[in-house]
């Protein structure tokens, strides 16, 4: 118990030290021309989350050990990268899309690393812990969501609850540390949702009077990389060095012969020449190198097979076979173009401008944010899809899909929603306070013969 208290005290002291360094402008790799500048209230609130809820979660994860500790390290680095990004946002004007993608690259890489860590360890005894973090971590992508990023964090928290409930059930009255860890994870994302709703209600709050983002260093670019390790010590093996020297001297002496270098070659007789002896050609066989056996075990969940693609093919934007890419942006669109998103996993796509239609086909855990659509948005043969309408959307079709959450805008409230052979469909409608009201699309129906025709009604469940 004394050792645990000491570790907790050390973690708190390190967190306080890091916060003091950031306030004095000495950390984070952000430079705006004045190292003595303080931080905004929103950054201080984010630091409170890092130093309390996140510090508690990481300390409990390190106490659990096993496969949980390495994932906690990456998870903490992701929060640090996001903190640096928010610090830049508090001091700079909103940049162009290209510069924004560069700024969020560090976060995207860490987020993908957390999820890939889980996928590579599906046989781990800590798999429920890894899965809880992997599901919740998607909520840190709120920095790309507008105009309501707080509900996006809540959705990721709800996804993680499925696994935290398993942990609470499996380790109740058996391992209090794991129980506390599961509760700390939910507490962390509840605090993050409150923070986002209070400080970034409609999206990341940039400083309209700030400096240009090009005048600050990108997150993670604080200085040159550390020097590499020293070279390995020389092993004295005199017997192996001498033949190498002799071989080089023989090579140079042979080269010095000039035209006489071919004098030692053996003359080939006519009966040994293939082009003069057909019998030699009949028995010749091409050499087939042996197929090496792979020693690397492939992960259970492989990325979609196919050539990744994101390009405009005539009038069709094709986004295909993308895996773990969180920053795909389709811009410069027009009314005659369609967007086709095919077999993408763990990917976020943002469509700007007005397009004819959008089709999401055979995708998993993919999020699509779009502005105006002339015809319809189709979600077919997919699973765990999130879509957000920022403008007009006449029709929404959901077919053969398990798990679809669609955010409507005030301009798309009159959309016609058609569903078939699908489950877990939820529509979120904006409320006056900026939050969303969630409603489920019925999946179960009752059909009765009324004497003249069949009458079908939705089945409601009470309780």
Outline where 200-317 has alpha helix (H).
238-255, 278-282
**Residue 2 to residue 26: CA distance in whole angstroms:** 33
Q: What is the pLDDT of residue 229?
A: 56
Angle, helices 55-64 vs 2-23, to 10°: value is: 140
pLDDT in tens, 314-339: 899 999 999 999 889 999 899 889 99
What residues are paired with 407 via a beta bridge?
388, 428
Cis status of the peptide bond prior to 200, with omega within 30 of 0: no
The answer to whether residues 445 and 457 touch, using CB atoms and an 8 Å cutoff, is yes
| DSSP secondary structure, 368-428, as one string | EEEEEESSEEEEES-EEEEEEESS--SEEEEES-EEEEEE--GGGTT-EEEEES-EEEEEE
DSSP category for residue 232: P
Give percent of the chain with pLDDT exceeding 90. Answer: 55
pTM of the complete model: 0.46
pLDDT category of residue 16 using cuts at 50, 70 and 90 = low
3-state SS assignment for residue 316: strand
pLDDT in tens, 48-77: 999 999 999 999 999 999 999 999 999 999
**Residue 128 pLDDT > 90, yes or no?**
yes
What's the mean pLDDT in 109-135?
92
Burial (CB count <10 Å: 0-12, 13-18, 19+), residue 230: exposed
**Residue 81 to residue 79: CA distance in whole angstroms:** 5
Q: What is the pLDDT of residue 171?
A: 92
């Amino acid at each position: 118990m004394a050792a645990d208290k000491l570790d907790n005290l050390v973690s708190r002291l390190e967190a306080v030290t890091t916060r003091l360094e950031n306030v004095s402008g000495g950390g984070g790799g952000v430079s705006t021309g004045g190292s003595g500048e303080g931080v905004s209230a929103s950054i201080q609130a984010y630091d409170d989350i890092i130093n309390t809820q996140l510090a508690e979660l990481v300390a409990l994860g390190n106490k659990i050990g096993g496969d949980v500790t390495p994932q906690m390290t990456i998870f903490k680095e992701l929060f640090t990268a996001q903190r640096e990004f928010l610090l830049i946002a508090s001091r700079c004007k909103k940049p162009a899309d290209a510069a924004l993608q560069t700024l969020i690259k560090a976060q995207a890489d860490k987020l993908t690393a957390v999820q890939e860590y889980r996928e590579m360890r599906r046989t781990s005894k800590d798999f429920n812990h890894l899965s809880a973090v992997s599901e919740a971590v998607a909520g840190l992508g709120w920095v790309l969501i507008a105009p309501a990023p707080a509900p996006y964090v809540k959705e990721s928290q709800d996804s993680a609850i499925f696994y935290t409930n398993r942990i609470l059930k499996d380790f109740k009255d058996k391992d209090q540390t794991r129980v506390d860890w599961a509760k700390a994870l939910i507490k962390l994302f509840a605090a993050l949702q409150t923070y986002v709703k209070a400080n970034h209600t409609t999206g990341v709050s940039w400083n309209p009077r700030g400096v240009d983002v090009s005048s600050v260093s990108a997150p993670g670019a604080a200085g040159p990389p550390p020097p590499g390790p020293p070279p390995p010590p020389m092993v004295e093996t005199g017997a192996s060095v001498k033949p190498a020297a002799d071989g080089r001297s023989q090579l140079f002496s042979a080269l010095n012969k000039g035209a006489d270098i071919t004098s030692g070659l053996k003359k080939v007789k006519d009966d040994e020449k293939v082009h003069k002896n057909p019998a030699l050609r009949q028995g010749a066989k091409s050499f087939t190198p042996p197929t090496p056996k792979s020693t690397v075990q492939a992960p259970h969940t492989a990325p979609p097979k196919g050539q990744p693609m994101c390009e405009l093919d005539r009038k069709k934007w094709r986004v295909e076979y993308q895996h773990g890419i969180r920053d795909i942006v389709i811009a410069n669109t027009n009314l005659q173009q369609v967007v086709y998103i095919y077999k993408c996993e763990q990917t976020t796509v943002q469509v700007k401008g007005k397009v004819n239609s959008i089709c999401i086909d055979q995708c998993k855990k993919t999020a699509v944010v779009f502005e105006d659509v002339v015809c319809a948005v189709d979600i077919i043969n997919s699973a765990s899809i999130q879509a957000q309408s920022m403008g007009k959307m006449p029709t929404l079709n959901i077919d053969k899909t398990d798990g679809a959450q669609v955010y409507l805008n005030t301009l798309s409230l009159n959309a016609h929603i058609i569903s078939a052979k699908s489950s877990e469909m939820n529509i979120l409608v904006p409320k006056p306070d900026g939050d969303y009201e969630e409603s489920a699309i019925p999946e179960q129906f009752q059909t009765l013969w009324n004497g003249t025709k069949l009458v079908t009604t939705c089945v409601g469940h009470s309780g």
